[in-house]
Amino acid sequence: MRRQLGLAAVVALVVGDMLGTGVFFTPGEVASVAQSPWQVYLLWGLCGAITLCGALTAAELTTLLPHAGASYHIIREGFGPFPAFLKIWIEMWISGPGSVAGVAIVLGEFATQLPIAPAGVSAAAWGGLAIAAFSVVNLCGVRWGGRTQIVLTIVKIVGLLALIVGSLTLAAPDIPAAAATAHETSLLGLVAVVGLGVAAVLFTYDGWVDVTHVAGEVKEPARHLPLALGLGVGGLTLLYLVVNYAYLRVVPLEAMRVIPTAAVATTVAVAAFGPGGGQVLNVLIIVSILGALGGLILTLPRLYYAAAEQYRDATAPRRVSLFFRALAWVPARSAVPAGSVLFTAALSITALCFFGTFRRIVTYFVVPVHAVNILLVASVFRLRRRLGQPTAYRAPGYPLVPAVYVFVLALFLVAAIAYNPRDTMIGLAMTATALPVYVWIRGQGRP
């Protein structure tokens, strides 16, 4: 594969994968736990800072190992082959196709609500078509995938800014909200608000790690990757804070609690642009989802390619070797991991047809995904000591910055297991199936 992605494309990937539907629905979820508007801003700002800690650390590690599927190589160097294999296993069979399928079905649900949508086409069909279309674009070459992400990211940011400007200039502010007084909150109550709210908001910030999968195709990775992650996460944090201010100006916190979560953004759009504002918002949400879907389909195959490179040689079991050789197929003309792109499309469409909804998937894969993200960031403690030499970029605030991310995410995983043990244990059980597979491969002579 060739280094063809410039700074604009990498920033678009970071923003595109992070900026999905959460910005439209999460504010309503946060309203159910926050007691005052300042707590809303606290939650969004805090989660942005936590995410930035992880992203800046990952930037250092990715510039150290700027390969396709860099997160796999980082975890392997930091903690050994089995945790790295576990990362691939989770992404390949659990969270990867599940995320693509879940985003695609949400896209399909909104597409069916458009006035121009033909009757009889199901949400699953729309989602499957979107997966197939993005796969074809990515098979044409990484430049096509990168350019598509740039266009979609620009369109959805412009649309979101239009919603913000419209709510600030065209919609009448809610007078009771402006006059409302702050609620008294005890320290214990604030801890509870943060504990409940962080889970919802962190999910909206998720997706930044996906850009590490294309590190092998980024021009000047030591310069562009840290800059793209910093600009992407920092810029989105500011954008999320402004969005929440615009929402709260029109729909006060008390009103958010009594209307459906999905209706908050629609209420703001109608207040700003009239009855047609709801349809305009639907189009904006679809574009936003397309950007997230395109980013996933571009980045995930690079991670699978990294695993294929490791396990395709002759020392692996024959059937395993043939499977990974197919994943590692890179046509000379396109210079993209075409085998992995096709595998991603096939498995994602299968998951789409089997599960049908995003909600069924998220609750069981969120803990395994964040567990390997913790391993990724924590690798910096081991690799800095082992290498003993500075890289082209070093995360600021070491060791506090990576320690904050690891500590907060560890608390988040404990809370997820405590509050949703059934779905979480299903995900952990599926993750555990990696162990016998790894032992079998290793028993056949592959370290």
Which residue range forms the structural domain that includes residue 115?
A: 7-443
Residue 48: its pLDDT value, please? 93
Residue 145 forms part of a structural domain: yes
Residue 237: its pLDDT value, please? 94
Contacts for 149 with CB less than 8 Å, ≥ 6 apart: 9, 12, 13, 16, 291, 294, 295, 298
Per-residue DSSP letter, 433:
T
Of 348, 332, 331, nearest to 294 by C-alpha is 348
Residue 412 forms part of a structural domain: yes
Residue 1 forms part of a structural domain: no
Residue 55: its pLDDT value, please? 93
**Cα(355)–Cα(371) distance, rounded to whole angstroms?**
23
Count of structural domains within the chain: 1
Residue 404: its pLDDT value, please? 93
Residue 29: its pLDDT value, please? 79
Is 293 in contact with 104 (CB distance < 8 Å)? yes
Residue 179: its pLDDT value, please? 42
> pLDDT, tens digit, for every residue of 103-115?
888 788 778 877 8
Residue 2 forms part of a structural domain: no
Residue 390: its pLDDT value, please? 57
Residue 62 forms part of a structural domain: yes
**Cα(116)–Cα(74) distance, rounded to whole angstroms?**
47
SS3 286: helix
CATH of the domain at 323: 1.20.1740.10
**Cα(404)–Cα(407) distance, rounded to whole angstroms?**
5
Q: How many Cβ atoms from other residues are within 10 Å of residue 389's Cβ?
A: 7
Residue 297 forms part of a structural domain: yes
The two tokens of residue 269 are 């759009």
Residue 430 forms part of a structural domain: yes
**Cα(74)–Cα(382) distance, rounded to whole angstroms?**
10
Of 146, 313, 153, nearest to 217 by C-alpha is 146
> pLDDT, tens digit, for every residue of 307-344?
787 776 645 556 667 888 888 898 888 888 899 999 99
CA distances in angstroms from 163 to 43, 107, 158, 166, 310, listed in the order given: 22, 20, 9, 5, 47
Residue 360: its pLDDT value, please? 58
The two tokens of residue 53 are 């800690």
Q: Which residues of the chain have pLDDT under 70?
A: 1, 175-189, 195, 261-262, 312-320, 355-364, 387-391, 419-420, 423, 444-447
Percentage of the chain modeled with pLDDT above 70 = 88
Residue 191 forms part of a structural domain: yes
Residue 182: its pLDDT value, please? 47
